């Protein structure tokens, strides 16, 4: 719990490298996947069931990368805390460990 309190800002979704096509239909990027622009760092996440993508500058990607790492770290810590809580509650109640039967 002390580790969770220290995590800091967490960004949902993931930081990936994506290629894009621009709005100019005459541009070479519309002629094939290998002609697309980029790859650029981009942030994708699900918002209300839809994938939202935001293209980042290299500098923004560097700056926010720790926030994605924080998110993964927080998820891991929550899983650990849940596993510990299940063990504590099961021991307190005399419930069998479901993995041991
Ligand atoms: Zn283009």
Task: Give the tens place of pLDDT for each residue, 2-13.
Answer: 999 999 999 999
Place of tokens 């650990």: 80
| Tokens encoding 53 | 């993508």
CA of 57 to the centre of ligand 1 (A): 17
Number of compact structural domains in the chain: 1
- Whole domain around residue 76: which residue ranges? 2-93
Q: 15 and 43 in contact (C-beta within 8 Å)?
A: yes
- Asked if residue 6 belongs to a domain, the reply is yes
- Asked if residue 78 belongs to a domain, the reply is yes
Place of tokens 């993995």: 99
Per residue in 76-98, pLDDT tens?
999 999 999 999 999 999 998 76
CA of 22 to the centre of ligand 1 (A): 4
User: Whole-model pTM?
Assistant: 0.78
- Asked if residue 14 belongs to a domain, the reply is yes
- Asked if residue 99 belongs to a domain, the reply is no
């Amino acid at each position: 719990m002390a580790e969770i309190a220290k995590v800091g800002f967490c960004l949902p979704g993931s930081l990936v490298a994506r290629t894009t096509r621009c709005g100019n239909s005459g541009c070479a990027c519309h002629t094939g996947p290998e002609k697309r622009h980029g790859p650029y760092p981009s942030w994708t996440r699900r918002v209300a069931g839809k994938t939202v993508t935001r293209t980042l500058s290299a500098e923004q990607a560097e700056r926010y990368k720790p926030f994605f790492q924080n998110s993964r770290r927080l998820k891991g810590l929550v899983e650990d805390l849940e596993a510990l809580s299940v063990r504590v509650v099961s021991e307190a109640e005399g419930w069998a460990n479901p993995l041991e039967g």
